[in-house]
Amino acid sequence: MHDRTIGSTDIQVSEVALGTWAFASGAYGSVAETDAINTIKSAIDSGITLFDTAPLYGNAERDGISEEILGKGLGSDREKVLISTKFGRYSTQRASPNFHAQRAYESVESSLKRLNTDHIDILFFHSPFSSEEIQDDVWDALANLKQQGKIRLIGHSISKFEDTQQMARDWATERKIDTIQVVYSLMNRESTSLIRDLGEQGIGIFARESLANGFLSGTITHDTQFESNNLNKRYSIEEIAERVDYVDSLSFLIRNDIQTMPQAALRWVLDNPHVSLVLSGAKNPSELKDAIAASTSSSFTENEHQRAQELHTRDFQAA
C-alpha cells in the first residue's frame, strides 16, 4: 500500500481508505457485523490507515451504527490509524440539516463514545445543501473542538455538487477547511476542475463513490434485478442499460496488472495527482482485495487516459 499526504498538512495516509456506509445503510444489501469487523481488520492488515464513517450511517432508531462497528473493529489498533467522521445530518432525524454550534459539540461527543476514542482526526460537514444551512456559530465551536484536541482537521463532504461547489471553494480560500470529500469516478467527473483547483491550494481530496454505486464493480449486467432498498432501484431499464454499456466500453483498461474493473476504476482515480485517497466501500475482505491491488498496480498511460476521456460523453448521476 502506498501513502500520500493530505493536502498541505504533514499527515500521511494510505492512498486507499475504507468507507463504512455500507455496514449500516443497507443501500447495497445487508452486511453482518462479523463481516464488517473482519473487513476492518483485513484493511488494517493490508496497510489501510484511514477509515471513514458518519452518524448518518445508522437507522431511524439509532445514529452511528457504522461508528459503533468501526470502534469495535479497530479495538486496540485505533492509534495506528486515522478516523474521519461527520456532523450535521443524522439517521434518526431523517437527514435534516443541523449545522450549528450546539449540534457540533453534541455530535462530536456522541461520535467519540461510539468510536471508543478520545479524538477524531477529520470532522466533515456532512453534505450541506446550501450555505443557508450553515449557522455562523459553528465555526467557533469547531475551533474550540480543535483547541481541545477532540478534532484535528475540518472537511466538507460535498453533495449536490453544482449547488455547493462554490461553498467549498470559498471555505478553501478562507482556510476554513483542510480537505474535501467529493464524488469522482470514471462515470462522474464533474468535480475534476474543483479537485485541480483546491488541490493546488493545498486542500486534501478524498474521492468517494469511485465504483459509481456498484456499476464499476463488474457485477451489474442488463439483467440485474435490484432489491427494493438498493439505491440503484431508482433507475429505469434504459438507464441501467446505458450505464452497463458504458462500463463495457472501458474494458480496455483491464490488462496484465489490472485484472478487474474495480481495480481499473480505483487506479484511474489514483492517477490524479491531486487526490489524497480513494474510499473503498468494500463490504467484505474479498471486495477489499481489488481496492488494495489498485494501489500497487501501474498508472495508466497517457493514451489510455485519452481513450477513456473520449468515451466519456456525460456524467452519470451520483448517489
Q: Give the residue-averaged pLDDT of 197-218.
A: 93
Give CA–CA dist 306/260, Å, rounded.
Answer: 20
DSSP state of 88: S
- Residue 51's H or E segment, with its range, is strand 50-52
The conformational region for residue 272 under phi > 0 = left, psi -120 to 50 = alpha, else beta, is beta
Please report which confidence band the pLDDT of residue 200 belongs to, taking 50, 70 and 90 as the band edges.
very high
Alpha helices, DSSP H, located in 47-100: 65-74
Tens digits of per-residue pLDDT, 238-281? 888 889 999 999 999 998 889 999 999 999 999 999 999 999 98
Give CA–CA dist 278/132, Å, rounded.
Answer: 29
Q: Kindly provide the b/e burial profile for residues 50-60, where b requires at least 16 CB atoms within 10 angstroms of the residue's own CB.
A: bbbbbbbbbee
Side-chain-facing half-sphere of 274: CA atoms under 13 Å = 19
Of the candidates 106, 33, 32, the residue with the CA atom closest to the CA atom of residue 69:
33
Question: What's the pLDDT at 234?
Answer: 78
Give CA–CA dist 84/247, Å, rounded.
Answer: 31
16-30, 84-98, 124-138, 254-268: the lowest-pLDDT one: 16-30
Alpha helices, DSSP H, located in the chain: 22-25, 33-45, 65-74, 101-115, 137-147, 161-173, 192-200, 237-249, 261-270, 285-296, 302-311
Any idea where the domains of the chain sit in the sequence? 3-311
Residue that has been written with the C-alpha cell 464533474 in this structure: 190
More confident residue, 32 or 225: 32
CATH of 3-311, one of 3.20.20.100, 3.40.50.2000, 3.90.700.10, 3.50.50.60: 3.20.20.100
Q: Rounded to 5 degrees, what are φ and ψ at 253?
A: -75, -15
Tens digits of per-residue pLDDT, 67-113? 999 999 999 999 999 999 999 999 898 889 999 999 999 999 999 99
Tens digits of per-residue pLDDT, 168-186? 999 999 999 999 999 999 9
Residue that has been written with the C-alpha cell 465555526 in this structure: 139
End-to-end CA distance of the chain: 28
Please report which confidence band the pLDDT of residue 29 belongs to, taking 50, 70 and 90 as the band edges.
low
Contact 56, 63 (CB under 8 A): yes
In this predicted structure, the answer to whether residue 231 has a pLDDT above a threshold of 80 is no
In this predicted structure, the answer to whether residue 230 has a pLDDT above a threshold of 80 is no
Its pTM stands at 0.92
Please report which confidence band the pLDDT of residue 222 belongs to, taking 50, 70 and 90 as the band edges.
confident
Question: What's the pLDDT at 80?
Answer: 94
In this predicted structure, the answer to whether residue 65 has a pLDDT above a threshold of 90 is yes
